Amino acid sequence: MRVLVLVAIFAFNIFALDATIEIVKKIDKQPKIVVINGGSSGVNKSIENKFFKLLIGDLKVSTHFQVKNGFVIGNYEDNLVSRDLANEGIELAIKAKIERESSNRLIASAKLINVQSGELLYEKFYAISKPKRYPFLAHNIAIDINKYFGFESIEWMKRYVIFARYLSPGESEIVVSDYTLSFKQSILKGGLNIFPKWANQKQSEFYYTSYRSGVPTLYKINLLTGERRKIISSNGMLICSDVSKDGTKLLLTMAPHDQPDIYLYDIKTKRKKRLTRYSGIDVGGSFVDDEKRIVFISERLGYPNIFAKNIGGGSVEQMVYHGKNNSSCSTYKNYIVYSSRESNSAFGRNTFNLYLISTKTDFIRKLTSNGKNMFPRFSENAESVLYIKYLANQSALGILRLNANKSFLFPLNIGRIQSIDW
């Protein structure tokens, strides 16, 4: 029974869907901008269209512009923009083109034009050696245009999402993707490989748990060299749920004596310290408050809820006082974002909403208002939250832009997801 509870806490299924970007709320007026397709060379039409749709989507997700739906056709070599666009009140235009070199490298060119005056404001060129990673060309253009105006950073668009998905009984693979899921690449197959977790901010390494030998074993893989290194093994279960900022400390969920608890593991000394000692289930530890404390999920109240305690010891503090199933959370500095069940239907669909709280104050903010929203993950600057949204028989990867009160959804048509990190 305990194994089933643990699986319910950590694992979840994703079903294919045909979702589109959803804007939940409106904010104040932003500059009006249009994307102009300035042509392509050596790139098939499908990639060309996807590239420009991604660029439009990135600008919308930035929440800093009013973006004209759909791109228009133009000539990249000049700075001319149709007067019809100016008459529509469009203030800015991004002209872009994408080309494939003989070496197979993709080159993207982008210029920013003041539509009203025709002035060239900005121009930059981008290259990528692996054509299937073309979505990052669009992401980088949007990031730099956003930076040109001094808007809040959207550098997180360059980060990889890493997740495990089931292939068949006892078989899973670990995949990296961009935040829109337009780029996906399988990086590990063979056996049951689950719970991937980025090992550093550079996303050059990651941890994962393998059940290939029958005993849960934590490994670390370097994406640049392919080197795999065994970290630790444990009977029962073994999950790396968080990594310290300097990469030297891990929070592990381990169950060497049947009951799962939270352990602090030192990479350098290879020593572990048991942080919780509850006779039931304690799982999913995350660093908080300058890594002096941890938050974790426990069944101490008879249902999953969020608690905190100092790493040095002391009593356990309950962090959430509503909901009957608070089984997933993410932390940033002194903030916690978590999923809370707000209905209890045995036959119908239950509602799970996301909330944001602070460990320093009584601050609490509801982030979603309907549906089933699960497994939140903070972006590197905590201005955005990645999560899974279930709608009827559909599922989507969601991005919450906290300062703008906007939400965007991307289709999860990638099979059954087991765990995810950003």
Q: Summarize pLDDT for 358-390 with one digit per residue, the tens.
A: 999 888 999 998 888 989 999 988 999 999 888
Averaged over 238-257, what is the pLDDT?
95
Inter-helix orientation angle 135-148/45-62, to 10°: 40
Q: In the numeric block, which tokens belong to residue 252?
A: 């592990």
Q: Is the pLDDT of residue 407 over 70?
A: yes
- Which pLDDT band holds residue 417 (cuts at 50, 70, 90)? confident
Q: Look at 29 and 263; give whichever has higher pLDDT.
A: 263
CB 113 within 8 A of CB 119: yes
Q: Distance between CA 168 and CA 292 in Å, rounded?
A: 40
CB atoms near residue 44 (< 10 Å): 10
Percent over 90 (pLDDT), the chain: 71
* Pairing outcome for strands 261-266 and 416-421: unpaired
Q: Is the pLDDT of residue 219 over 90?
A: yes
Q: Is the pLDDT of residue 3 over 50?
A: no
Predicted local distance difference test score (pLDDT) of residue 348? 55
Averaged over 319-327, what is the pLDDT?
88
For the stretch 41-56, pLDDT in tens is 989 999 999 999 999 9
Q: Quickly count helices (H) and strands (E) in the chain.
A: 4, 30
**∠ Cα 193 197 198 (to 5°):** 130
Q: What single-letter DSSP state applies at residue 349?
A: P
Q: Which residues pair with 341 in a beta bridge?
A: 352
Predicted local distance difference test score (pLDDT) of residue 11? 38
Predicted local distance difference test score (pLDDT) of residue 350? 79
Averaged over 96-123, what is the pLDDT?
94
Q: Look at 130 and 19; give whichever has higher pLDDT.
A: 130
Q: Look at 324 and 8; give whichever has higher pLDDT.
A: 324
Q: What is the mean pLDDT of the chain?
A: 88
Q: Is the pLDDT of residue 164 over 50?
A: yes
Q: How far is CA 246 from CA 205, 207, 290, in A?
A: 13, 15, 12
Q: Distance between CA 253 and CA 274 in Å, rounded?
A: 10
For the stretch 172-200, pLDDT in tens is 999 999 999 999 999 999 889 999 999 99
At 419 the three-state DSSP class reads strand
Q: Dihedral, CA atoms, 203, 208, 212, 217, nearest 10 degrees?
A: 130
Q: In the numeric block, which tokens belong to residue 410?
A: 């991307």
Q: Is the pLDDT of residue 25 over 80?
A: no
Q: In the numeric block, which tokens belong to residue 134?
A: 């073309």
Q: Distance between CA 69 and CA 276 in Å, rounded?
A: 52
Q: Look at 393 and 86; give whichever has higher pLDDT.
A: 86
Q: Distance between CA 380 and CA 37 in Å, rounded?
A: 32
Domains defined for the chain, CATH in brackets: 2-20+156-421 (2.120.10.30), 32-148 (3.40.50.10070)
Q: Dihedral, CA atoms, 353, 358, 364, 369, nearest 10 degrees?
A: -20
Q: Is the pLDDT of residue 14 over 50?
A: no
Q: In the numeric block, which tokens belong to residue 172?
A: 């899973």
CB 367 within 8 A of CB 337: yes
Predicted local distance difference test score (pLDDT) of residue 214? 80
Q: Look at 119 and 28; give whichever has higher pLDDT.
A: 119
Q: Is the pLDDT of residue 12 over 70?
A: no
